[in-house]
């Protein structure tokens, strides 16, 4: 190993660093242990100011607005429906029927999810072509543009602007759910990868609760201020946009995708806030990923879909993202207010529903510690099976709701479901792709996973009313069955990723569905 440094020179030419990792020696002359042998202990990184700033910027400026735009449409819905009805009548001299108005409102609500799918699809190309930070800025800009359109909705009396605004903020949300976990796990040291991976889930849950609170008729959910309500998240997007100019670019992206090794090491030194000589293990990991990366063809969505080497991890990412929605979390939230009304009354039920959102946030915070202390597999399976139990109890207790104490069983089942969901099903699907894929195919794979997440959300939202009408309370048994399928497939194919290099994990699944990564790990 040789390192050229200018003593006491803060402008060290990091690009001149050249480390032959095969020759790195320990102090006693023995070869240094391979990073893959004990990479978790070798990682010197921690929570530095720049990493904290990056987490706060992404969580509050990207994920929180996405959650806000999900939760904000519930409480003041009747006000916005009335506006849509009046606008169509005044501008087009058409009186919508009850069915027509319902279709229009459903379109306004669900077009946000279609925007999310679109944002997820372009996130891969955008982040690889222009960089992770630029892609995050595009998401922030979309959020601000959407908010401006919301402010103009009442001024122009335009339902069309309402629809376009929902598409654009959906685009922002899709970019956030694809980019945030990828960027944060790429800039974080290995031992903090699970902790920063839950920031997307934390931001979304906080945003949903803030949207519900802001939509109360005692806050901004009034006939005069509902358009201000819809746009009230935009200052967070604007501040986040400015802060991205301070944040470092992903060293992995610069080193492996762009081939700018000197700049990558400078950014790595900024992130870790320590001398570059103390980061030999991270540099060795970057060199290893670069050496093993295929340069014959650029990784894009088409290649990821066709390459058999990444077929299994891609399937797992899409399954977990899609399955997260099929566990029925949004349906439980949708139905929780009706459940609480039975036992608590109409007024108290509104605040009890907010309590479920608060419980969701608390569990998102707790999951930071869970991801740092427990294996991904244990957390995921514990979450799955506990949620299945809650869904079965919820279904039975709703069916027997006429029994006096059953309304309390329903309430407890809902709250317990939210808590258990936050252990693993909530956070893990958002970031697991960053732990299953090397840097090359990672952005495309996570974009596809995000598409399945938004698509699953759209599917459940469209089908739940019909399923509930047909099956009644037993609809929750369908969600329990879907959760069981997700758990069983992951039990067979999902390798443990905590504390392991992505290149090591990826190598366990190159044989597709013939792979048995857990058997290999056990050996």
* Res 522: pLDDT: 45
The helix or strand, by DSSP H or E, that contains position 203, with its residue range, turns out to be helix 199-214
Cβ neighbour number for residue 320 with a 10 Å cutoff? 24
- Residue 190: band (very low, low, confident or very high) from pLDDT cuts 50, 70, 90: confident
* Res 335: pLDDT: 67
DSSP state of 216: S
pLDDT, mean of residues 227-245: 95
Q: Would you state the structure tokens that stand for residue 20, as one six-digit string?
A: 């032959």
The separation between CA 76 and the C-alpha centre of its own chain, rounded to angstroms, equals 26
- Residue 10: band (very low, low, confident or very high) from pLDDT cuts 50, 70, 90: very low
pLDDT greater than 60 at residue 14: no
- Residue 341: band (very low, low, confident or very high) from pLDDT cuts 50, 70, 90: low
pLDDT, mean of residues 138-142: 96
Give the whole-angstrom CA distance, residue 515 versus residue 512.
6
Q: Would you state the structure tokens that stand for residue 354, as one six-digit string?
A: 């907010």
Cβ neighbour number for residue 217 with a 10 Å cutoff? 14
Lowest-confidence segment of 76-90, 117-131, 506-520 by average pLDDT: 506-520
* Res 345: pLDDT: 65
Lowest-confidence segment of 28-37, 52-61, 320-329 by average pLDDT: 28-37
* Res 347: pLDDT: 66
Whether residue 195 contacts residue 58, with contact meaning beta carbons closer than 8 Å, is answered with no
- Residue 346: band (very low, low, confident or very high) from pLDDT cuts 50, 70, 90: low
**CA distances, 213 to each of 112, 207, 275, 351 (Å):** 20, 10, 46, 9
* Res 4: pLDDT: 37
Q: What angle do CA 327, 329, 332 make, to 5 degrees?
A: 115
What pTM does this model have?
A: 0.77
**CA distances, 335 to each of 11, 180, 393 (Å):** 59, 30, 15
8: alpha, beta or left? (left if phi > 0; alpha if psi -120 to 50): left
Ranges 52-56, 302-306, 462-466, most confident: 52-56
Judged on CB neighbours under 10 Å (0-12, 13-18, 19+), 399 is middle
Give the contacts of 71 (CB within 8 A, at least 6 positions apart): 207, 208, 209, 210, 211, 212, 215, 357
Whether residue 422 contacts residue 366, with contact meaning beta carbons closer than 8 Å, is answered with yes
Task: Provide long-range contacts, Cβ within 8 A and 24+ apart, for 378-381.
Answer: 379/423, 379/424, 379/428, 380/424, 380/425, 380/428, 380/487, 380/490, 380/494, 381/424, 381/487, 381/490, 381/491
In 3D space, the residue among 247, 256, 244 whose CA is nearest the CA of residue 282 turns out to be 256
Helix (H), strand (E), coil (C) string for 127-185: HHHHCHHHHHHHHHHHHHHHHHHHHHHHHHCCHHHHHHHHHHHHHHHHHHHHHHHHHHH
Give the whole-angstrom CA distance, residue 110 versus residue 112.
5
For the chain, the farthest-separated pair of C-alpha atoms sits apart, in whole angstroms, at: 87
Q: Reduced to 3 states, what is the DSSP secondary structure of residue 2? A: strand
- What pLDDT, in 10s, does the model give residues 383-423? 999 999 999 998 998 888 778 788 788 888 888 998 999 88
Whether residue 440 contacts residue 299, with contact meaning beta carbons closer than 8 Å, is answered with yes
Tokens 């006939």 belong to residue: 223
pLDDT, mean of residues 207-211: 88
DSSP state of 26: -
In 3D space, the residue among 481, 464, 223 whose CA is nearest the CA of residue 334 turns out to be 464
pLDDT greater than 90 at residue 208: no
Alpha-helical segments (H) within 437-472: 439-471
In 3D space, the residue among 58, 334, 319, 363 whose CA is nearest the CA of residue 205 turns out to be 363
More confident residue, 213 or 10: 213
- Residue 45: band (very low, low, confident or very high) from pLDDT cuts 50, 70, 90: low
* Res 521: pLDDT: 46
pLDDT, mean of residues 443-452: 89
* Res 293: pLDDT: 65
pLDDT, mean of residues 273-291: 81
Could you tell me what percent of the chain has a pLDDT over 90? Answer: 35
- What pLDDT, in 10s, does the model give residues 47-82? 899 999 999 999 999 999 999 998 888 778 889 999
Mean pLDDT (the chain) is 83
pLDDT greater than 80 at residue 184: yes
Give the whole-angstrom CA distance, residue 434 versus residue 9.
36
- Residue 519: band (very low, low, confident or very high) from pLDDT cuts 50, 70, 90: low
Give the whole-angstrom CA distance, residue 86 versus residue 149.
19
Whether residue 57 contacts residue 282, with contact meaning beta carbons closer than 8 Å, is answered with no
* Res 5: pLDDT: 37
Burial 34-60, CB ≥16 within 10 A → b, else e: ebeeebeebbebeebebbeebbebbbb
pLDDT, mean of residues 121-125: 89
CA dihedral sign, ordered 432, 130, 243, 116: negative
pLDDT, mean of residues 336-352: 67
pLDDT greater than 60 at residue 273: yes
* Res 420: pLDDT: 93
Task: Provide long-range contacts, Cβ within 8 A and 24+ apart, for 4-13.
Answer: 12/276, 13/262
Q: Would you state the structure tokens that stand for residue 131, as one six-digit string?
A: 């960089």
Give the contacts of 245 (CB within 8 A, at least 6 positions apart): none
pLDDT, mean of residues 128-134: 92
pLDDT greater than 50 at residue 112: yes
């Amino acid at each position: 190993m040789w390192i050229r440094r200018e003593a006491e020179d803060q402008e060290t030419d990091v690009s001149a660093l050249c480390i032959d990792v095969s020759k790195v020696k320990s102090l006693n002359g023995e070869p240094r242990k391979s990073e893959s042998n004990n990479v978790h202990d070798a990682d010197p990184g921690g929570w530095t100011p720049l990493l904290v700033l990056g987490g706060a910027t992404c969580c509050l400026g990207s994920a929180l607005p996405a959650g806000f735009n999900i939760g904000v449409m519930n409480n003041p819905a009747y006000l916005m429906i009335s506006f849509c009805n009046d606008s169509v009548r005044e501008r087009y001299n058409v009186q919508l029927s009850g069915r027509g108005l319902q279709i229009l409102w459903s379109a306004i609500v669900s077009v946000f999810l279609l925007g999310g799918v679109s944002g997820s699809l372009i996130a891969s190309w955008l982040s690889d072509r222009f960089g992770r930070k630029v892609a995050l800025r595009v998401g922030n800009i979309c959020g601000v543009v959407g908010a401006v359109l919301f402010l103009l909705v009442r001024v122009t009396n335009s339902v069309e602007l309402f629809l376009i605004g929902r598409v654009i903020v959906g685009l922002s949300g899709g970019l956030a759910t694809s980019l945030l976990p990828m960027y944060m796990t790429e800039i974080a040291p290995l031992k903090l990868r699970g902790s920063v991976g839950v920031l997307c889930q934390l931001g979304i849950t906080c945003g949903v609760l803030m949207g519900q609170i802001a939509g109360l008729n005692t806050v901004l959910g009034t006939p005069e201020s509902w358009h201000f309500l819809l746009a009230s998240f935009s200052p967070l997007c604007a501040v986040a946009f400015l802060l991205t100019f301070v944040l470092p670019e992903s060293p992995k992206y610069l080193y492996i995708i762009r081939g700018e090794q000197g700049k990558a090491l400078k950014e790595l030194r900024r992130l870790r806030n320590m001398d570059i000589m103390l980061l030999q293990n991270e540099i060795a990991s970057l060199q290893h990923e670069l050496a093993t990366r295929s340069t014959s063809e650029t990784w894009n969505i088409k290649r990821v879909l066709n390459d058999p080497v990444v077929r299994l991890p891609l399937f797992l990412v899409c399954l977990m993202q899609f399955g997260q929605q099929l566990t029925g979390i949004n349906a439980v939230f949708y139905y929780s207010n009706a459940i609480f009304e039975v036992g608590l009354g109409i007024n108290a039920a509104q605040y009890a529903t907010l309590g479920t959102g608060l419980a969701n946030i608390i569990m998102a915070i707790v999951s930071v510690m869970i991801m740092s202390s427990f294996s991904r597999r244990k957390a995921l399976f514990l979450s799955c099976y506990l949620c299945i139990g809650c869904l079965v109890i919820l279904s039975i207790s709703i069916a027997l709701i006429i029994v006096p104490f059953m309304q309390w069983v329903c309430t407890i089942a809902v709250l317990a479901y939210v808590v258990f969901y936050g252990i693993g099903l909530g956070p893990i699907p958002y970031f697991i792709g960053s732990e299953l894929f090397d840097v090359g195919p990672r952005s495309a794979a996570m974009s596809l996973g995000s598409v399945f997440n938004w698509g699953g959300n759209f599917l459940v939202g469209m089908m739940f009313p019909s399923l509930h009408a047909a099956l009644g309370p037993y609809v929750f048994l369908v969600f329990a069955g879907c959760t069981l399928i997700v758990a069983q497939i992951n039990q067979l194919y999902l390798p443990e990723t905590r504390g392991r290099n992505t290149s090591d994990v990826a190598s366990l699944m190159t044989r597709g569905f013939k792979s048995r990564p857990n058997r290999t790990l056990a050996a």
